[in-house]
Structure 1
Amino acid sequence: MTAVVVDTLVLGGGVAGLWTLRELLDAGIDACLVENAGLGGEQSMQVQGIVHGGGKYALRRVGDVSAIRQIREMPERWREHRAGRRSPSLADAHTSSEGCWLWLPAASWLARLEALTLIPLLRHGGVLATPPQSRPKSEWPLPLQQHALRAYRMDEPVLEPVSVISALAGPVGDRLLAGQLRAMRREADAWELDFEDGRKIRARAVVACAGTGNAKILELAGQDPARMQRRPLRMGLVRGDLADLPALHGHCVIGGRTRLTITSVDAAEGQRVWQVGGELAERWASTNGEEFFGDLWVEIQRALPGLDLSRMELADYPAVRAEAANTAQSRPSGVQVDEVAPSMIVAWPTKWAMAPLLAEEVAGLIVPGAKRPDTSFNSLDWPRAGLARPPWERAEWRSANSARPA
């Protein structure tokens, strides 16, 4: 079978891979992308959609000022893309909320102390571009009006991940190919890639933005897959009718840490879904026990005392943060872009909000020697990659009452 010849091949169709492809095409580079499952597949569809500006890092008293400074400008950067003032345009992406809330639960004595100490420090510390700001109680989301002691708003927008992937993919759908990589090798001045269905691609440069899939790509390229680390999560889901489950986007703060991070998405048939992360997701990352659902109930009641869950459903899904490895197995500082072999780049954004920075860094490495677009993909006999399904559409749901502690 005749190989497709392209200057740069991007492997992985999540937010990092798609943004990188768009950046390369905008720079006039002949590029395409191959995804082995569905666009947004394993990692990008699992995120909660918050465009962090560093507030969560500062809240956890993370000493990595470099990471905070790198991410602090991302909310404004994404607003530029949402407004269509920068390419790629995200004008067609859905914004779930223009801001994200920090709240202190009404029933916690520790929250009362934090209202006097921690939050004012974040507001006036000068590190954040979007520090928490007080708002009148009438502006708080309904659940916080009813159940929170204090609430502060940060100008960190929340975007629906499915719509972001769709907005990035739409204009370049002819260059989004589907395929399972079987082998790759360096020959002369190019990479030869073989796929399971017998198709082939020859590319001068390869960029791996495949999340957990980067480990396999590294191995196939004769590189050490231990360059990548995995930090798992067990995310919670709550589903209810729109009238019973109000929209909420924010972090519950107890003890100076984000006990819960909750974001909302409107699902099918008049229902709303909460994605629940934070320390709960980290604590249950390596266990599959049914006790998780009891803990999910307890933590929600602790964060929002008195919230009625009796008519809700609960579910969970495993998530994973694929990142560049470090000796402490902790979150890396900022984006990680590494040229591991001649004209082969492996990249991880660390946070999905930093995908624009990753794409720019990759493009800066690719541009020298790049070929202008001249490959026609419209008539190419190759299956195209479609959208992956979000986790709440694949979850196994149960009555919340079945998890209610005795």
Structure 2
Amino acid sequence: MRTIETDILIFGGGIAGLWLLNRLRSAGYSVILLEQDKLGGHETLNANGIIHGGLKFGLSAMLRDIEDLDDMPALWRDCLQNGGDLSLKGVRVLSEHQYLWSEPSLAARATAFFASRLITGQVEAVEGDARPAPFHDPSFEGNVYQLSDLVIDVPSLVQKLASPHKNSIYKVSPQNCHLETDDRHNTSAVFITAAGMEPLRIHPRRVILAGGQGNKELLDDLGLREPVMERRPVHMVLLKHPNLPAVYAHCLGNSTRPRLTITTHPTRDGEQVWYIGGELAEEGAQRDGRLQIEHAQRELKELLPWVDLRGARFKAIKLDRILPAGDGGFFKPENAFVEARGNNIVVWPCKMTLAPNLGRQVLALLEKDGITPQHPMPEEALPLLRPEIGQPAWETLFD
């Protein structure tokens, strides 16, 4: 049996695992990442790509949702410009800004909500022809605000994070992977067995559980009941049409959530897809696909009636947002979630936006525990398969 010594073993090839792989390798640690399916997974690749600050939109108040989120767009922009925590130079930016629009009946209240942010320059009112399509149409009578948020192409982000570290990333199914633990739930070894290959034994100094919804199975294997994972379902709607305007905007609604959130994603065939979430997706989690699409069509007809959607094709997809459960079963992320259990570190980024925060927390925890780089990377590649990069729903649902 071949034995591998490594500083860090990561389970999960979504944004959390890939971001940590890059941060830890840059810090000199030897790292092996194991993914059971495709890189990007179901949750990361189907994220809308908004890197947002700490605003939540609603009629009752315009709240600062999360203090630390206010800094996130700037941190990501530093990375995109080849600085910051790690280089994301070459990752495609779909829009330098996310916008918010309000209906005429909500215009005065929207202005009041944004008053303090307008003064500090964190939000800008956009007028006339400076408004993005489709809000410079004469039929539009509401207000438009430019936010500090940006929108990135998530598949290109996954590609950027994975490509420099191919010799660290392997595909292993759960049934071929066994965690050996002691009575304090420390992971002493990870055994990988598969037909036709020599068994592997990996001795990690730290194990990072970054598997999103897969963390539950890993925690069960470790005999840990906590932290508890929570699923929050959403029902996203996709709209494809060859002549769609590029929209990156929230619609101010009658609650503390955007009525709609729209981002636009180009596809391989040269068309564009609107990816629609917000309150529509959260309240529609229990609807079937047909009813959810019908509801989305009514919303678009009411909110953007001048946009010609004749001939558009619609699809719907149900997703689970994965979070740790908080007190009373509701978790409001103020940071990415990082918690040590023995020599295991359980992480959930909670929001893709918080990936830099996740990286900083994990590095700080390793420093606190005195875990410095010790083992070199294996000289030879492991005899394991390599995972492919997955595809987002806007590339697969319309085939």
What TM-score does the superposition give when structure 2 sets the normalisation length?
0.90
Alpha-carbon distance in structure 2 between the residues aligned to 1:318 and 1:364: 36
**2:276 partner amino acid:** V
Alpha-carbon distance in structure 1 between the residues aligned to 2:62 and 2:345: 29
What percentage of aligned pairs have identical amino acids? 27
Q: 1:80 maps to which residue?
A: 78
Alpha-carbon distance in structure 1 between the residues aligned to 2:110 and 2:232: 28
**1:231 partner amino acid:** R
The RMSD of aligned alpha carbons is 2.3
| Displacement of 1:141 | 1.8
Q: 1:196 to 1:329 in 2, by over 3 A?
A: farther
Q: Secondary structure at the match of 2:347?
A: strand
Q: Secondary structure at the match of 2:309?
A: coil
**2:179 partner amino acid:** M
**2:250 partner amino acid:** H
Q: 1:281 maps to which residue?
A: 281
Match of 1:191 among 182, 188, 191: 188
Q: 1:225 to 1:299 in 2, by over 3 A?
A: farther
Q: 1:135 to 1:207 in 2, by over 3 A?
A: same
| Displacement of 1:158 | 0.4
Q: Secondary structure at the match of 2:50?
A: coil
Alpha-carbon distance in structure 1 between the residues aligned to 2:115 and 2:50: 19
| Displacement of 1:377 | 5.5
**2:130 partner amino acid:** E
Alpha-carbon distance in structure 2 between the residues aligned to 1:391 and 1:50: 16
Alpha-carbon distance in structure 2 between the residues aligned to 1:114 and 1:132: 17
Match of 2:171 among 161, 169, 178: 178
**1:138 partner amino acid:** D
Q: 1:233 to 1:254 in 2, by over 3 A?
A: same
**1:122 partner amino acid:** F
Q: 1:34 maps to which residue?
A: 34
Q: 1:357 to 1:270 in 2, by over 3 A?
A: same
Contact 2:187-2:344 at 8 Å conserved across structures? no
Q: Deviations over 1:230-266 (max 9, x none)?
A: 101111001111xx20111010112254111000111
Alpha-carbon distance in structure 2 between the residues aligned to 1:319 and 1:129: 36
**2:148 partner amino acid:** D
Answer yes or no: is 1:219 the counterpart of 2:223: no
Answer yes or no: is 1:163 the counterpart of 2:162: no
Deviates more, 1:340-349 or 1:355-364: 340-349
**2:107 partner amino acid:** A
Contact 1:9-1:32 at 8 Å conserved across structures? yes
Contact 1:240-1:273 at 8 Å conserved across structures? yes
Q: 2:55 maps to which residue?
A: 55
Alpha-carbon distance in structure 2 between the residues aligned to 1:61 and 1:378: 57
Task: Give 1:199-210 correspondences, 5 Å limit.
Answer: 199-210=200-211
Q: 2:364 maps to which residue?
A: 364
Gaps of 5+ in 2: none
Q: 1:129 to 1:229 in 2, by over 3 A?
A: farther
Q: 2:396 maps to which residue?
A: 394
Q: 1:330 maps to which residue?
A: 330
Match of 1:135 among 126, 143, 149: 126
Alpha-carbon distance in structure 1 between the residues aligned to 2:46 and 2:223: 30
Alpha-carbon distance in structure 2 between the residues aligned to 1:5 and 1:186: 16
Q: 1:249 maps to which residue?
A: 248
Task: Give 1:2-151 correspondences, 5 Å limit.
Answer: 2-56=2-56, 61=61, 67-104=65-102, 111-124=103-116, 131-146=122-137, 148=140, 149-151=142-144
Q: Secondary structure at the match of 1:380?
A: coil
Alpha-carbon distance in structure 2 between the residues aligned to 1:26 and 1:373: 14
| Displacement of 1:21 | 1.3
Deviates more, 1:82-91 or 1:363-372: 363-372
| Displacement of 1:378 | 4.9
Contact 1:261-1:276 at 8 Å conserved across structures? yes
Q: 1:113 to 1:288 in 2, by over 3 A?
A: closer
Q: Deviations over 1:6-64 (max 9, x none)?
A: 1111111111111111111122111121111111112111110010111236777476x
Alpha-carbon distance in structure 1 between the residues aligned to 2:116 and 2:57: 15
**1:235 partner amino acid:** M
| Displacement of 1:226 | 6.2
**2:189 partner amino acid:** E
**1:86 partner amino acid:** G
Q: Deviations over 1:275-318 (max 9, x none)?
A: 10001111111332421111110111122123221121101112
Alpha-carbon distance in structure 2 between the residues aligned to 1:118 and 1:131: 15
Answer yes or no: is 1:264 the counterpart of 2:264: yes
Q: Secondary structure at the match of 2:364?
A: helix
Q: 1:284 to 1:194 in 2, by over 3 A?
A: farther
The number of residue pairs the alignment matches comes to: 386
Alpha-carbon distance in structure 2 between the residues aligned to 1:125 and 1:269: 40
What TM-score does the superposition give when structure 1 sets the normalisation length?
0.88
Q: Deviations over 1:109-130 (max 9, x none)?
A: xx3343112333224158x977
**1:134 partner amino acid:** A
**1:82 partner amino acid:** L
| Displacement of 1:224 | 1.2
Contact 2:52-2:148 at 8 Å conserved across structures? no
Q: 1:221 to 1:53 in 2, by over 3 A?
A: same
Q: 1:306 maps to which residue?
A: 306
Q: Secondary structure at the match of 1:117?
A: helix
Q: Deviations over 1:356-376 (max 9, x none)?
A: 101110111124233335122
